[in-house]
């Protein structure tokens, strides 16, 4: 067999390379065309599936709706009040359920009496400043205080609720040996409170005849809230001393209302009626036990309602 020289064989191999490269190029183009024509069946490859699994958000667990903590605004206010003053809160039993009241003992050897503060639930929780100043400071001068809410003027069955809460408050104070009580109410509740307390009003200063010895009415609510019928109810007991407080600066119409309320008291023959103009106490001075608010109110109470504490009431069943 004849051997070709090495250079000749190499040159022969090089001549076959173009044919090989052409075949490879045709195969590549045919594969690319098939990939482009292949239909998209919507099934991702393994890499896309893994990415989809990572990016898909996890479903959030269903959270059941929360039950309301309080059944009403008044229930919420009662709960907050009890939480704010845990040492002073007392729960009074009424036919409509228990209601919280704030009780503060006198800080003196002898208790002169008690001030029962009542105001509508429309007022902001925490008590209006005139009431809060008295509630905090009168105990330092020998007067116990008991404070509780009344239903708002638009509440259903308001008068029966007022009567029930007044009875419960007076029974509580009677159990504390307090038989000479001064009522303090706002002008929006005065008629209902006095009407509910008719059987508890002392007509001759005898504490065994009735616990309520005097009335302080604070005209906190703006507007003419006491019509002729309401004024007649407030002044229905001529023997009950009344301190009628108006706040300054006076809004429009208050001077006329003051005149109407004084005239109604005179027509009813109220024996001790004292109208009084006072500026509202400032927040910064509610801790001042010598503030003019506590001075003027306790002066009225000392003249008309001061007594002594009776540890064992002679007639606890009246």
pLDDT digits (tens, 9 = 90+) for 91-135: 999 999 999 999 999 999 999 999 999 988 665 445 677 788 899
Residue 205 reports pLDDT greater than 60: no
How far apart CA 103 and CA 135 sit, in angstroms, is 9
Tokens in use for 29? Answer: 């183009």
pTM: 0.72
Q: Please name every residue paired with 248 in a beta bridge, in sequence order, or none if there are none.
A: 279
What spatial distance separates the first Cα and last Cα of the chain, rounded to whole Å?
A: 148
* Secondary structure (3-state) at 211: coil
Which strand (E) or helix (H) includes residue 149? strand 143-150
> Residue 156: pLDDT band by 50, 70, 90 thresholds?
confident
pLDDT at residue 18, rounded to an integer: 55
Residue 314 reports pLDDT greater than 60: no
> Residue 10: pLDDT band by 50, 70, 90 thresholds?
very low
pLDDT at residue 316, rounded to an integer: 43
145 contacts: CB under 8 Å, gap ≥ 6: 102, 103, 104, 114, 115, 116, 117, 134, 135, 138, 139
How far apart CA 48 and CA 53 sit, in angstroms, is 9
| Strands 143-150 vs 97-104: parallel, antiparallel or unpaired | antiparallel
pLDDT at residue 195, rounded to an integer: 94
How far apart CA 222 and CA 254 sit, in angstroms, is 8
> Residue 171: pLDDT band by 50, 70, 90 thresholds?
very high
pLDDT at residue 167, rounded to an integer: 96
pLDDT at residue 169, rounded to an integer: 97
> Mind listing the domains of the chain with CATH numbers?
88-304 (3.40.50.1820)
- Single out the residue of 134, 314, 114 nearest to residue 208, CA to CA: 314
pLDDT at residue 9, rounded to an integer: 47
Q: What average pLDDT is seen over the chain?
A: 78
Tokens in use for 58? Answer: 């996890």
Alpha-helical runs (H) found in 102-184: 129-137, 158-175
Which strand (E) or helix (H) includes residue 231? helix 228-234
Q: Please name every residue paired with 201 in a beta bridge, in sequence order, or none if there are none.
A: 212
The per-residue pLDDT for range 252-283, each reduced to its tens digit, is 888 999 999 999 999 999 999 999 999 876 65
Cβ neighbour number for residue 275 with a 10 Å cutoff: 16
Residue 304 reports pLDDT greater than 60: yes
Percentage of the chain with pLDDT > 90?
43
- Single out the residue of 273, 163, 280, 270 nearest to residue 219, CA to CA: 280
- Single out the residue of 179, 273, 189 nearest to residue 226, CA to CA: 189
Residue 287 reports pLDDT greater than 60: yes
- Of 18 and 100, more confident: 100
Residue 5 reports pLDDT greater than 90: no
| Strands 113-120 vs 89-94: parallel, antiparallel or unpaired | unpaired
The per-residue pLDDT for range 192-204, each reduced to its tens digit, is 999 999 999 976 6
Contacts 24+ apart (CB under 8 A), 53-57: none
pLDDT at residue 313, rounded to an integer: 47
pLDDT at residue 152, rounded to an integer: 80
The single residue listed with the structure tokens 């250079």 is 7
């Amino acid at each position: 067999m004849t051997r070709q020289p090495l250079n000749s064989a190499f040159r022969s191999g090089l001549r076959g390379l173009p044919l090989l490269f052409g075949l490879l190029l045709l195969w590549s183009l045919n594969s690319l065309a098939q990939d482009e024509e292949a239909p998209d069946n919507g099934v991702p490859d393994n890499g896309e599936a893994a990415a989809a699994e990572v990016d898909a958000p996890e479903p959030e667990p269903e959270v059941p709706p929360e039950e309301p903590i309080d059944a009403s605004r008044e229930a919420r206010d009662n709960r907050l009040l009890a939480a704010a003053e845990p040492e002073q809160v007392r729960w009074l039993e009424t036919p409509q359920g228990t209601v919280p009241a704030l009780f503060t003992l006198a800080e003196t050897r002898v208790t002169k009496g008690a001030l029962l503060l009542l105001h509508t639930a429309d007022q902001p929780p925490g008590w209006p400043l005139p009431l809060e100043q008295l509630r905090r400071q009168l105990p330092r001068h020998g007067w116990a205080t008991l404070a509780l809410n009344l239903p708002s003027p638009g509440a259903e069955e308001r008068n029966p609720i007022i009567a029930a809460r007044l009875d419960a408050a007076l029974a509580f104070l009677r159990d504390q040996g307090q038989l000479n009580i001064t009522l303090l109410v706002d002008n929006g509740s005065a008629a209902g409170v006095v009407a509910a307390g008719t059987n508890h009003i002392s007509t001759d200063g005898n504490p065994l005849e009735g616990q309520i010895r005097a009335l302080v009415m604070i005209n906190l609510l703006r507007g003419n809230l006491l019509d002729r019928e309401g004024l007649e109810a407030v002044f229905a007991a001529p023997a009950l001393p009344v301190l009628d407080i108006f706040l300054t600066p006076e809004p429009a119409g208050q001077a006329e209302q003051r005149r109407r309320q004084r005239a109604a008291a005179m027509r009813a023959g109220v024996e001790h009626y004292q109208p009084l103009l006072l500026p509202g106490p400032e927040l910064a001075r509610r801790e001042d036990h010598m503030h003019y608010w506590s001075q003027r109110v306790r002066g009225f109470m000392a003249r008309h309602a001061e007594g002594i504490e009776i540890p064992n009431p002679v007639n606890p069943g009246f």
